Structure 1
Amino acid sequence: MDHNTANLQTALIWLKTLVAGRLGVVLGKREGFELPPLDFYHQDSWLAGFLERYEPCYEEFAIFLLAIVPHLQPQFFNRIIAEHLPEGGDFPEFGGVRGANHRGILPTGETAQFLLAGDDLEKRLQVQRLLSAEHWFARQHILWLESLPHGEPAMSGRLIVDPEVVDLLTVGKVGRPRFSPDFPAEYIETAMNWEDLVLHPHTVSQIGEIENWIKHNDTLLHDWGMKRRIKPGYRALFYGPPGTGKTLTASLLGKQTGKDVFRIDLSRVVSKYIGETEKNLSKLFEKAEHKAWILFFDEADALFGKRTEIRDAHDKYANQEVAYLLQRIEAYNGLVILASNQRANIDEAFVRRFQSIVHFPMPRAEERYQIWRKTFPPQIAIGDDIDWQQIALRHELSGAGILNVTHFCAVQVLAEQATRLELKQLEAAIRREYVKEGKIV
């Protein structure tokens, strides 16, 4: 048995003693009870690390275990209650609710009050304060009370624990979230490296500035005391034609610095229904908070386009959506990158909020030459009639366009069971790419 499992087992025995003891006192079966001491293993245990970091008091630790236990032993409360009420019966003082799929008891704020305070009003109010929005449980997004319909007592809400806390406690790591209505973003990565990406020298220099921020931000904010004077995150705008490396650069920044990168397509997030856009964005930022993820907002024009005068209620709410996103972006403590095909599409009032504005121009002839030389696999012999410098001068293609041509040529060579690429084949593939891009018909 590993240390974390052993610690969880010790904690569950402790919680069972607390629940059984309180039920025994309330039902008149005993006068009092004594909780066993907690003696944890401190190595290789997330639970021990949690205790060391937050130093919870007895009541806080009990509430934490109450929220966690349905994820570990679904019938935990049912079994204890059945031992004390073998003939069954309703016991509303205990609190708890049934879930849509979960068959056991899900503890509520009332459950915590019953176990920790009984009928003592002062102690019940103390428990209520532990479950308020001001407590570190809520501020650190560890656990909170479920929101209820207007008019119902707040403490009858379920104890909700962050799923990531459950992951850390049970499997030892947090899995990357998948794209869903609750998380409208997808994880992106690349097998490429910086040397595979060819950019304009000025663009490379600006990307280096962002790398420097990622590497040294913690020192700047905490060791140098700048946290009081500057906002914690970094906001950058990438603009340029499609296929010039904006998404790849974001992926490489994550790979280089060891941070996950998530791409958010704002066209999927923006809703025609009032309030839905803010709701979608709120879920996204709540998930990303304190993760140091890189958030890459593709097609940023969908929300950050030039504003028009307010003529109707729709325009008014559209401006509210933009204001909300700006607020969340500025409060985010990681790197946020917005991407657009044209800088002119982004309202200047928003542009001023960015620390960095990086242009990704179409590659010049010298950059196209490097891309052509790097892109073709070594298994393909290049015909003597192919001069990459002449190809680069004659054909204005983006990096993505060149990659598409390479891909097509490689498949053709394999299909023909050849090992050599001739100029005629290359020119035909380039023409095919031009037709696809609408440059020729």
Structure 2
Amino acid sequence: MTNAANLSAALAYLQSVIAARLSVHAGREPEIAVNDTAYYQDDSPFARFLQRHQPSFEEYILLMLALAPHVHPDFFTELITKHLPEGGDLPEFGGVKGIHHRGILPTGETAQFVLAGNDLEKRLEVQQLLGSEHWFAQKHLLWLEPVREGEPRLSARLILDPEVVEQLTTGTVGKPRFSTDFPAEHIETDMEWADLVLHPGTLHHIHEIEHWIAHSNTLRMDWGMKKRIKAGYRALFYGPPGTGKTLTATLLGKHTGKEVFRIDLSRVVSKYIGETEKNLSRLFDKAENKNWILFFDEADALFGKRTGIRDAHDKYANQEVAYLLQRIEGYNGVVILASNQRANIDEAFTRRFQSIIHFPLPRPEERREIWQKAFPPQLTIADDVDWQQVAARYELTGAGILNVAHYCAIELLADDSRELTLQRVESGIHREFIKEGK
């Protein structure tokens, strides 16, 4: 079902509440006494959102105030014009102009005016609704934009999380895209666990993470371990490039129903003081309560071995590490850090992880299995190809083997051939070795 009916009812209700407040302000009506929410209890995303969060009247009005400009740009302008037909200003109403938006954008002062008028006690209650301890802020649904030092906090705009805006309007929430404000990319795969060949010891540790995802809520809530163990799970994957670290994280998400976002720390870390923390703060604020799997690649960029503090750069680098550790430990989902070598990660950080999992170079028997799975079934393997010998002779990672298979398959298509010979395989291997500088 669409949100149109509920949106129309909600905005009409908000309009009546604001109109009543304006009438009280002008002395035409006595103090208003409204304490209800207005929406159809259907199966629309709008109704499901309200049923899930059960907002009070005041919380409902706050949500609608923040939502209104996203639906009707002139929503507040029309109301003020009707109230002041001969023109003029109404500073009590609050509101600001946007950079591109030409209508009025509601502020915390707007919320105070609509919900409390001149009642100081109620105005303070509205201030609490917009505080950091309220569930709006805790769930990162609605908050006040930061203001310049010295300006009243409630003069700031009401900001509604873009995902909430989407849910309450179009009803569909798109995945966030990589940008300076969200330094992570969504990753997914068509592959399955059967396509991934790992050392048995590595696979055993991966199953431990699956078990945590499946049973952590039971352990913490039903078994009363919430006060003893933290909500999230933190793991370190280390091993040479191409050994399956990223694919493993992606498959974990695929088979546990969780979105996976990859963050390349080498791109997030900024040379400008304070920028790294801002980049990471935006990421974790977005991920909070989403239960995503966050996969931090190139973790060495921030978690490398520390040296003594010789200058301001070292001091702020340590602050960046401390900040990321704090956010990782406070995150209630799965966080995976990836590094090429465990030795690159400072030992002081390793105690923060529940799992430290090694992704070694595949052994000959594992390489043979990867070779056998790498080629499409449309190809015929020539009699001179012995995968056992190829695997024993050439030391390649899983990613390297897939690169060779890709090269060979394209060349066979170009030659209009369907038979894979040993010569063709070795040509692809030599090409891969040259690329890797071997």
TM-score normalised over the length of structure 2 = 0.96
Matching of residues 304-315 of structure 1 within 5 Å: 304-315=303-314
Distance in 2 (alpha carbons) for counterparts of 1:426 and 1:37: 72
Matching of residues 10-409 of structure 1 within 5 Å: 10-31=9-30, 38=37, 40-409=39-408
Distance in 1 (alpha carbons) for counterparts of 2:49 and 2:432: 56
Indicate if the aligned counterparts of 2:140 and 2:288 stay in contact, CA closer than 8 A. no
- What SS is found at the alignment partner of 1:297? strand
- How big is the alpha-carbon RMSD for the aligned residues of Structure 1 and Structure 2? 1.6
Indicate if the aligned counterparts of 2:400 and 2:432 stay in contact, CA closer than 8 A. yes
How far is 1:4 from its partner? 3.4
Indicate if the aligned counterparts of 2:145 and 2:156 stay in contact, CA closer than 8 A. yes
Indicate if the aligned counterparts of 1:148 and 1:157 stay in contact, CA closer than 8 A. yes
Distance in 1 (alpha carbons) for counterparts of 2:56 and 2:379: 67
Indicate if the aligned counterparts of 1:131 and 1:138 stay in contact, CA closer than 8 A. yes
Distance in 2 (alpha carbons) for counterparts of 1:218 and 1:81: 50
Indicate if the aligned counterparts of 1:232 and 1:333 stay in contact, CA closer than 8 A. yes
Distance in 2 (alpha carbons) for counterparts of 1:37 and 1:55: 12
Indicate if the aligned counterparts of 1:4 and 1:44 stay in contact, CA closer than 8 A. no
How far is 1:8 from its partner? 2.1
Deviation larger for 65-74 or 182-191: 65-74
Distance in 1 (alpha carbons) for counterparts of 2:226 and 2:337: 24
Indicate if the aligned counterparts of 2:21 and 2:114 stay in contact, CA closer than 8 A. yes
Indicate if the aligned counterparts of 2:7 and 2:169 stay in contact, CA closer than 8 A. no
Runs of 5+ consecutive residues of structure 2 not aligned to the other structure: none
CA change 1:55–1:309 in 2 (3 A) is: same
Distance in 1 (alpha carbons) for counterparts of 2:158 and 2:36: 25
How far is 1:36 from its partner? 9.6
CA change 1:211–1:93 in 2 (3 A) is: same
Deviation larger for 73-82 or 128-137: 128-137
Distance in 1 (alpha carbons) for counterparts of 2:11 and 2:62: 12
Indicate if the aligned counterparts of 2:264 and 2:298 stay in contact, CA closer than 8 A. yes
Residues 241-273 of structure 1 deviation map (CA, whole Å, 9 limit, x = unaligned): 111100110111011111111110000111111
Distance in 2 (alpha carbons) for counterparts of 1:56 and 1:412: 62
CA change 1:270–1:36 in 2 (3 A) is: closer
Distance in 1 (alpha carbons) for counterparts of 2:56 and 2:92: 24
Counterpart residue identity of residue 126, structure 1: E
Aligned twin of 1:8: 7
Counterpart residue identity of residue 40, structure 1: Y
Indicate if the aligned counterparts of 1:382 and 1:421 stay in contact, CA closer than 8 A. yes
How many residues are paired up?
438
Aligned twin of 2:414: 415
How far is 1:121 from its partner? 2.0
Distance in 1 (alpha carbons) for counterparts of 2:128 and 2:347: 45
CA change 1:47–1:414 in 2 (3 A) is: closer
How far is 1:376 from its partner? 0.9
Indicate if the aligned counterparts of 2:141 and 2:160 stay in contact, CA closer than 8 A. yes
Indicate if the aligned counterparts of 1:41 and 1:48 stay in contact, CA closer than 8 A. yes
Runs of 5+ consecutive residues of structure 1 not aligned to the other structure: none
How far is 1:59 from its partner? 2.1
Counterpart residue identity of residue 180, structure 1: S
Distance in 1 (alpha carbons) for counterparts of 2:230 and 2:363: 37
- What SS is found at the alignment partner of 1:228? coil
Indicate if the aligned counterparts of 1:3 and 1:41 stay in contact, CA closer than 8 A. no
- What SS is found at the alignment partner of 1:358? strand
